[in-house]
Amino acid sequence: MTTINPNTVTIAEIVAALNDVDIPADQKFAFIQKAADPEQISKVAVALNYYFADKQDEYLEDSVDAAMIAAERAQKEAEAKALREKEAKDKLTRAQNAAVQNLMLRGVQMFVDGELNPEYQALLNKEVGKLMKGERMYVTSDGEYFVPDSERSNLSQKQLEAMDKAQIEAVKSNEAIDLDDTRPMTNGPHEVTISYYAEKPGRNGRENYAVINVVEINTGKHVWLPAWTLAHPRCVDPRDAWKCRLSQLRTIALNNAGLGEHMKEEDMVNLLRKTPFTIFTYQKADGTVAVYLDRNMYERFLERQSKAEIRHAEAEKRDNELRAMGLNPDEVEADESIEQKSYKF
């Protein structure tokens, strides 16, 4: 029987092959059933090649699955053996080529006065033998090939450098270096465009919202904007009205010379992907970045921030003075005189 090619086999070839041999009908039917599955037919072909070669008697009373498993195991063993033989042959070829290179670097000539150098073959065999002993072959900057012994002894400086370089090559990352600056933006205004925009479903009955990341034109730095709700301000929780998408886009238009005026929401969002607009940022003490689209709101925030910093500095000065007097600031009550109290009517 001819061998079946698993890569091009058809169900007709399976049936024809089974008709050429004398095995029980139920066994033939079992093979055909398996071959009817497009994902199994190539495995059936491999199993039949193995089954008919010299294992027919062994599996005549056994199941088709057992024949297929045995065939798959035999194929894997054959492939592993072929791979080992190929690797050994490739290693010998590399060692022979490297040995020729080494002898040439040492000035050993294959021919002397037009005749074969009688010492060349012996030196070549010796060099190949040395190179075949090591698991890995290294090459120096001069083009000399070598394999170190287990103690890495008697190696030249160039050989040691070659091994160190190979070790670095083996462990270094192949990932491209990311030049995005992940440090926070400096405080103040920034010219940005939208680099990422995705609409997300709201939770617990809240309106859907947009997640937006922007990139600064000059530095390539990124920052996330506060989430924008996607419904009209009159339709959402009043606490979210200020960050409604329509409200935010109007704010951008007012702070950027009417950019996107008279445009619909979606059209303006697409415009902001390629047209710069201004945002204002401030890095807080806890590391978070406050982002504003409106200059007036940003300036009011800075004013509040400045007053808070002044109060903090005054409190710290008071605490230091108390410590200098030998008092614990936590145990000294704040001045609650009538001049310090404020009343709300």
181 assigned to some structural domain: no
| CA distances for 243 relative to 36, 97, 193, 195, 212, angstroms | 61, 71, 18, 19, 12
Residues 67 and 36 in one domain: yes
Residues 238 and 124 in one domain: no
CA-closest candidate to residue 279, choices 185, 192, 180? 192
- Listed as own residue / partner, the contacts of 317-326 with beta carbons closer than 8 Å and 24 or more positions apart are none
- Say what the pLDDT of residue 69 is: 67
- Say what the pLDDT of residue 213 is: 93
104 assigned to some structural domain: yes
Residues 125 and 8 in one domain: yes
Residues 34 and 122 in one domain: yes
Backbone dihedral angles phi then psi of residue 73, each to the nearest 5 degrees: -65, -45
Q: Across the strands, what pairs with 340?
A: none
Place of tokens 């009417």: 258
Backbone dihedral angles phi then psi of residue 189, each to the nearest 5 degrees: -80, 150
How do 277-283 and 289-292 pair as beta strands?
antiparallel
Q: Is-contact 20 1, C-beta < 8 A?
A: yes
Residues 3 and 124 in one domain: yes
Q: Domains in the chain: how many in total? A: 4
341 assigned to some structural domain: no
For 140, the domain range is 135-171
- Say what the pLDDT of residue 314 is: 85
Residues 195 and 166 in one domain: no
CB-based burial label for 283 (10 Å; 0-12, 13-18, 19+): middle
178 assigned to some structural domain: no
- Say what the pLDDT of residue 214 is: 95
Residues 100 and 16 in one domain: yes
From the CB of residue 178, how many other CB atoms can be counted at a distance below 10 Å?
A: 7
- Measured CA to CA, the distance from residue 173 to residue 121 in angstroms comes to 42
Residue 280, helix vs strand vs coil: strand
Tokens standing for 277?
Answer: 């607009």
Residues 47 and 121 in one domain: yes
321 assigned to some structural domain: yes
CA-closest candidate to residue 185, choices 212, 221, 224? 221
Residues 121 and 143 in one domain: no
Residues 39-71, buried b or exposed e (16+ Cβ, 10 A)?
eebbbbbbbbbbbbeebeeebeeeebeebbebb
Residues 123 and 9 in one domain: yes
66 assigned to some structural domain: yes
155 assigned to some structural domain: yes
242 assigned to some structural domain: yes
- Say what the pLDDT of residue 254 is: 94
- Measured CA to CA, the distance from residue 289 to residue 214 in angstroms comes to 13
For the chain of 345 residues, list the mean pLDDT of each consecutive stretch of 10: 74 80 74 80 76 54 59 77 88 88 86 80 87 86 85 82 83 68 84 93 85 92 91 79 89 94 91 96 87 94 87 82 76 47 37
Place of tokens 């009159």: 234
- Measured CA to CA, the distance from residue 192 to residue 215 in angstroms comes to 5
- Measured CA to CA, the distance from residue 229 to residue 246 in angstroms comes to 9
- Say what the pLDDT of residue 312 is: 80
- Measured CA to CA, the distance from residue 25 to residue 49 in angstroms comes to 18
Residues 207 and 322 in one domain: no
| CA distances for 182 relative to 61, 133, 145, 253, 273, angstroms | 69, 49, 44, 28, 20
Residues 245 and 119 in one domain: no
